[in-house]
Amino acid sequence: MALFGKLPTVYLIIAMLMAGNACAQGLSEASGEDRSDEDASGQTSAIMEASNNDSAEEMSQAEADPSAQKNSPEQKSDKIWHLVWEDNFDGEGLDRTKWRPEVSCWGGGNNERQCYTDRPENIQIEDGLLRLIAKKGRYTGPLYPEDMKGAPGGKKWQAYTSGKVRTKGLAAYKYGRFSARMKLPEGQGTWPAFWMMPETDTYGGWPLSGEIDIMEAVNLNTPCEDCPGGIERHTSGALHFGNEIPQNTYLFLKAEGGRLPGPSEEWRVYAVEWAEGVIQWLVDGKVYMRIESKDWFTASADKAENPYAPFDQPFYMMLNLAVGGNLAEKSNGKGFDPASFPAELRVDWVRVEQCRQDWQTGLPCLTDQNWQGEPQGPWEVQAR
């Protein structure tokens, strides 16, 4: 894909100073959020300040994040993406102005075995890390999340508990670079995920309004016949879309699985870069999948003439560690191994960046790497 080059910084600064509130309005449209005049003014000031202090900002980010120094593609992208949201998990507890824990026991529609709780046993902030901990222990909780539209009430018990946090109702963005530095759990039945869902179901219920899976992994460090070295070390990304269940579908691809040490043994940065008509997936700055709008669709009657639907609306982020479930229990050694628990997903930071050169499409900021792969279709009849 031919991408646009980077404009000289001096022209960017001049343009931003002249644009004033127009620049803030562009940000509002790109993120899909309604902002008050006060919010727009604040965004304009933040943009101007960032433009005048690029060098200092880039230096401070490199000092705070050793992975930015280690991975040259990540370092390059920091120069054209503008940070608009982040959490470094450096407080005494979960920042509830940024995250809301989900409390539910329904199994995510995937036959997962956990209740998600809002307890320190399952969600912890410690030593500058978010820890989502899955462990054995009977728990009874609400069947569905309280904000799930049309869901019935009731309670359910599960034999395991875990943690799931979301930015729903707090932060949602249309287009940008969404990344997290994480170390993943291992064992048959573990299923960590970093993913995104639409803030509003503009085109209808799942998956008519889409789903973006930035990172998933199952059963890391377990035997795998088709894996390099015979051990599962893959992570993957996916895009869900299409028609209503059971005519839903998705595209996915696994990242390289032969790299040592594996993702349960070292910190890695998982990201998607989402722009108008294209989404690409990266691990440590290397693109391993790219999907364009010609490859996705929504059967929603509300799409009108929107060529990029359903991936043209603001999405919010989620982090969770599932226990078992369809994907984990149908992969590798099959089934579920209780010896894999307790397990934990550790997160160093999460960031959202938007394209300084073009808030509305994000296209000029996409990492320009040659990629000749092909996304794969659903791996099972029951699309997750």
Please report, in angstroms and rounded to a whole number, the separation of the first and last CA atoms in the chain: 29
Which helix (H) or strand (E) segment is 350 a member of?
Answer: strand 343-355
**Which residue in 186, 199, 216, 344 is the catalytic one?**
216
How far is the C-alpha of 202 from the C-alpha of 200, rounded, in Å?
6
Q: Residue 79: its pLDDT value, please?
A: 54
pLDDT of amino acid 378: 83
* Active-site pick, 211, 329, 344, 353: 211
> How many whole angstroms from its chain centre is CA 161?
22
Q: Taking the C-alpha atoms of 359, 365, 371 and 373 in order, what is their torsion angle to the nearest 10 degrees? A: -20
DSSP assignment, residue 326?
H
The CA distance from 298 to 3, in Å, is 26
User: Cα–Cα distance between 44 and 32 in angstroms, integer?
Assistant: 17
pLDDT reported for residue 290: 98
Residue whose entry in the numeric block shows the structure tokens 């010609």: 294
Round to whole Å and give the CA distance between 131 and 317. 16
SS3 breakdown of the chain: % helix, strand, coil, rounded to 5? 20, 35, 45
- Closest CA relative to residue 125, chosen from 97, 94, 103: 94
Q: How far apart are CA 153 and CA 334, in angstroms?
A: 32
Distance CA 279, CA 290 (A): 6
Domain residue limits, the chain: 9-79, 84-365
Beta-bridge partners for 352: 85, 178
Distance between CA atoms of 34 and 47, rounded to whole angstroms?
Answer: 18
DSSP category for residue 231? B
- pLDDT score for 150: 87
**84-365 CATH choice from 2.60.120.200, 1.10.10.10, 3.40.50.720, 2.40.37.10:** 2.60.120.200
Q: Is the pTM higher than 0.75?
A: yes
DSSP conformation class of 90? -
DSSP annotation of 79 reads T
Beta strands at 155-162 and 114-116: parallel, antiparallel or unpaired? parallel
Strands 164-166 and 100-101: antiparallel
Q: What is the DSSP letter of 357?
A: S
Separation of alpha carbons 228 and 77, rounded Å? 30
Say what the pLDDT of residue 155 is: 97
The per-type count for the chain, helices as H runs and strands as E runs, is 7, 17
Residue linked to tokens 């009430």: 153
Backbone angles phi, psi at 262, to 5 degrees: -80, 175
CA 250 → CA 77, 154, 212, 273, distances in Å? 28, 31, 10, 18
Residues of the chain with confidence (pLDDT) below 50? 1-78, 381-384
Is 216 a known active-site residue? yes
Which one-letter DSSP state was computed for residue 295?
G
Amino acid occupying residue 244: E
**Amino acid identity for residue 195 in this structure:** W
